[in-house]
Amino acid sequence: MTTLEAGRIVGAGLDRVDAPLKVTGAAQYPNDFTLPGMTHAALVGSTIAAGRITGIDASEALAAPGVLTVITHLTAPRLEPGPMTLLGGSPPTPLRDDRILHYGQHIAIVVAESAEQARHAARLIHIRYEATEALLDVDDPRAEIVVNPWGMDTERGDVGAGFAQADVVVEGTYTTPDNTNNPLGLMTTVASWHGDSLTVHDSTQWPHNVRTTLAAVFGIPESGVRVLAPFVGGGFGAGLRVWSHVILAVLAARELKRPVKLVLSRPEMFTSVGHRPNSVQQIKIGATRDGDLVAIEHHGISSVAMEDDDYEPVSAGSAVAYACPNVLTRDRQARLNIPCPGSMRAPAEGQGNFALESAIDDVAHAIGMDPLEFRLRNFADEHPLRGLPWSSNALRACYLEGAERFGWSRRGREPGSMREGNLLVGYGLAGVSYPFYQVPCQARVSVRHDGSAYARSAATDIGTGTYTVMTQLTAELLGLDVDRVRFDLGDSDMPYAPQAGGSGLTGALANAVHAACRRLTREFLDIVRDDTRSPLQGATAEDVAVSDGRIHLIEDSAQGESYVGILARHGLEELSADGRSTPPRAEDLGMAPAGAFGAKFVEVRIDPALGLLRVARVVSAIDGGRILNEKTATSQIIGGTVGGISQALFEETATDAVTGRIANATFGDYLMPVNADVPYIDVLFVGGPDRATRTGTKGIGEVGLVGLAAAIGNAVFHATGRRIRSLPITIDQLM
Ligand code: MOS
């Protein structure tokens, strides 16, 4: 019935439908909103990492020009905790008591007539502390160890027996640092109350979560809360949870009975909206001399905040990456006095893949096999834990087509064997199996009497292209031109959508839109069921297709009618239908629902005298199922690749070991790649639609990043013979 198979619009590299709004400045991001009578807030963050507040003197701040209120734990009402979500519990609610759990903890909110007045007054609040020694090191033996809280540890076969059969065993300890999500748009909340109902503009990746959380925290019905996020200035995971600053802005607005705007500063972004927690990973891999993996054992420990339950099982990906009979993965967390971590750009996989794919490279080297051949040999033909065929898996094609494009066959066998002038040249590769969040979603689609259509869902477009690909998909499924279709999102009053995260939104929303469009076609057929004037009288959904604004018989496309014609004859302004998607289940499919796959090929150039490392080329071969828009999808992978180069070579959030202060909490100090650090990035998509869902699209939001750190590390090994097991890879490690 749909024209998806023909793919007239879907897949085409259309320009973003929201591009004109963005380049003209007409797109309104949360911090662009101004409301009548709006006030401005600033936060006071703790300057110690552990201890108690023994005194607060806000008198000077309250007397400062323009100041309207100061709220601290001494004056705040008791707030209820936020709910459990798909991503776990909510971060601790603010201003509960006098305890300090981490540096930068929000301990007061100041509201004034202007943002400058609020920030000035925040500096006039005098806090006395009683500091205790902070736990800050993931290896600190005093830290409480959280054991497998989500039941994600895995074990199959018998790793002891596996290692006993191995001809070669490699072992290594890998460390990854804290990284901080830094969307360009400073996270902003604008809160306004109207009696008991609340409207919030927020930098969120999940409006429904903000609505549910604020309703729970403030004890009001969800129907009284509306959350708006039509444009969000980037996310990277920072907008997945409802953080303390959102609650504080809403609280202040309720107390003042005026709208409150709170924009985090860049340093506050480092302590307020999550970060990728650091990790220490032990990995051990055994293989036979012929190149068969016989055992993998991967232990990870990551840091987690006090009283929070964010979880990143860094070893979990090792359980599904290869066909290996004996695999054990274990994750632990150390509770520390750190700001709450949260999902950041390929959480867990981003760290775990570095250890796994570096160690795989070590094994290949130890048995003298080409690392590409070794990976192909141990490809997992079926899902290693479920023992079921994949709903799709083009990883093998990713390896082969990526290698062809890259010119992998030119790789010299031995480390240090390739040079250009005085530079060492290294080729490295990594494989990626990325399991994405498959989650429920809903959408609503309407066709108007003029033959135009609009669709909506409470999703967000964090810069990824959701507006564009959903417009394309709706147009395709209704047989309309793209310019006759509008897709709206970013409003919690729209049908439920999950987070733009975990690489899960596009697939879930695409399937919901697909269901809505199918149902809408049926609605039209229902109207003309007994209509003797309609050529579609008595037709069923299976009999028809849509194109050029018409529904027509598949057998005879001349037999059909336009949407406009049907609506006019029946006196209807518009017709709408809802669609929902639920995650595909292995039990129903007899297949394991697959995520994305990828192979990353990297060439590095190293000046051995100076330790200078440059990434010279990257080829990313990606299996993302059906690609809805080749241009935005390529853009996603390029962005992810830059993020991967950044993780590999630049990013490290530096925490002072004594005070817990973030020492590099500015864009000047927190290193990220600039254009000179980023080479040409070649992206190719391989594979086809996934069999598990109607649209066959898989998420590609995170697969772009994963693998770069290992591929770069492997290229460094190939260039120098030196294995770097600690990110970021810095000059001193290469000297
Ligand atoms: Mo992503 S870390 O799922 O926004």
Render pLDDT for 537-574 as a digit per residue (tens, 0 to 9): 999 999 999 999 999 999 999 999 999 999 999 999 99
Alpha-carbon distances of 445 from 519, 540, 578, 583, 653, rounded to whole Å: 9, 20, 6, 20, 44
The percent of residues in the chain predicted with pLDDT above 70, rounded, is 99
Does position 2 have pLDDT exceeding 60, yes or no? no
Does position 5 have pLDDT exceeding 90, yes or no? no
Average pLDDT over residues 609-629: 97
Locate CATH 3.90.1170.50 in the chain: 33-134+183-235+239-272
Does position 323 have pLDDT exceeding 80, yes or no? yes
Does position 291 have pLDDT exceeding 90, yes or no? yes
- pTM of the full predicted structure? 0.97
Average pLDDT over residues 87-94: 91
Please choose, from the candidates 520, 565, 510, 547, the residue with its C-alpha nearest in 3D space to the C-alpha of residue 690: 510
Q: Which residue has the tokens 């734990």?
A: 73
| pLDDT for residue 436 | 78
Task: Name the DSSP letter for residue 444.
Answer: E
pLDDT digits (tens, 9 = 90+) for 329-379: 999 999 999 999 999 999 999 999 999 999 999 999 999 999 999 999 999
Which of the four pLDDT bands, split at 50, 70 and 90, describes residue 21? very high
CA separation for the pair 402, 588 (Å, rounded)? 33
Average pLDDT over residues 79-84: 94
- DSSP assignment of 185-245 equals SPPEEEEEEETTEEEEEE--S-HHHHHHHHHHHHT--GGGEEEE-S--S--TTTTSS--HH
Q: What is the mean pLDDT of the chain?
A: 96
| pLDDT for residue 560 | 97
CA separation for the pair 367, 285 (Å, rounded)? 12
Ligand 1: centre distance to CA 325 (Å): 31
| pLDDT for residue 86 | 82
- Candidate from 86, 343, 351, 438 with most ligand 1 atoms within 8 A of CB, to mutate: 343
279-437+589-734 adopts what CATH topology? Aldehyde Oxidoreductase; domain 4 (3.30.365)
Average pLDDT over residues 53-67: 98
CA separation for the pair 155, 298 (Å, rounded)? 10
pLDDT digits (tens, 9 = 90+) for 157-168: 999 999 999 999
Average pLDDT over residues 668-678: 96
pLDDT digits (tens, 9 = 90+) for 258-272: 999 999 999 999 999
Q: Taking the CB of residue 682, how many other CB atoms lie within 10 A of it?
A: 18
Does position 3 have pLDDT exceeding 70, yes or no? no
| pLDDT for residue 682 | 98
Ligand 1: centre distance to CA 235 (Å): 7
Average pLDDT over residues 525-534: 96
* Arch. (CATH architecture) of 33-134+183-235+239-272: Alpha-Beta Complex (3.90)
Pocket of ligand 1 (CB under 6 A): 205, 235-237, 240, 343-345, 347, 501-502
Locate CATH 3.30.365.10 in the chain: 19-27+439-583, 279-437+589-734
| pLDDT for residue 594 | 95
Atom number of ligand 1 nearest to Cα 500: 4
Atom number of ligand 1 nearest to Cα 501: 3
Does position 1 have pLDDT exceeding 60, yes or no? no
CATH number of 19-27+439-583: 3.30.365.10
Q: Taking the CB of residue 124, how many other CB atoms lie within 10 A of it?
A: 18
